[in-house]
Amino acid sequence: QKEVEQDPGPLSVPEGAIVSLNCTYSNSAFQYFMWYRQYSRKGPELLMYTYSSGNKEDGRFTAQVDKSSKYISLFIRDSQPSDSATYLCAMMDGSGNTGKLIFGQGTTLQVKP
């Protein structure tokens, strides 16, 4: 079983739609959860950071972590064409000693005008 699984998509939605992206994981030691956005041939850019379980909201973005189900989600409200990118989930264990991030495959999102 892969440590982090993420449906690669592609996911295509009309402008204004609510987008739901998610990842599952197997390592119960993961405590820190991030969502990065990556444009083609660019570096990952941090969108959301969550520690342990719960929700976090930032503008049109909401991140949810359900540690009991080993499942994390990113919701994008009122999606825009500029949101078209690849979204990567990333996780780190609770020791945090080295900060090694384990990434999902990434989901490619296209928002059509």
Partner 1 sequence: EPEVTQTPSHQVTQMGQEVILRCVPISNHLYFYWYRQILGQKVEFLVSFYNNEISEKSEIFDDQFSVERPDGSNFTLKIRSTKLEDSAMYFCASKTGTGGNIQYFGAGTRLSVL
Question: Can residue 58 be called a binding residue for partner 1 (CB under 8 A)?
Answer: no
Question: Can residue 99 be called a binding residue for partner 1 (CB under 8 A)?
Answer: yes
Residue 82 and residue 93: Cα distance in Å, rounded? 32
Output the CA torsion sign for 86, 40, 93, 63: negative
Nearest approach in angstroms of CB 105 to partner 1 is 5
- Residue 42: name the closest of 12, 80, 86, 6 by CA: 86
Q: Which of residues 20 and 52 has its CB atom nearest to partner 1 in the complex?
A: 52
Q: Considering only residues 36-55, where is the footprint of partner 1 by CB under 8 A?
A: 36, 41-46, 49, 51
Question: Can residue 61 be called a binding residue for partner 1 (CB under 8 A)?
Answer: no
Contacting partner 1 (CB under 8 A), which of 63, 79, 83, 106? Answer: 106
3-state secondary structure of 45: strand
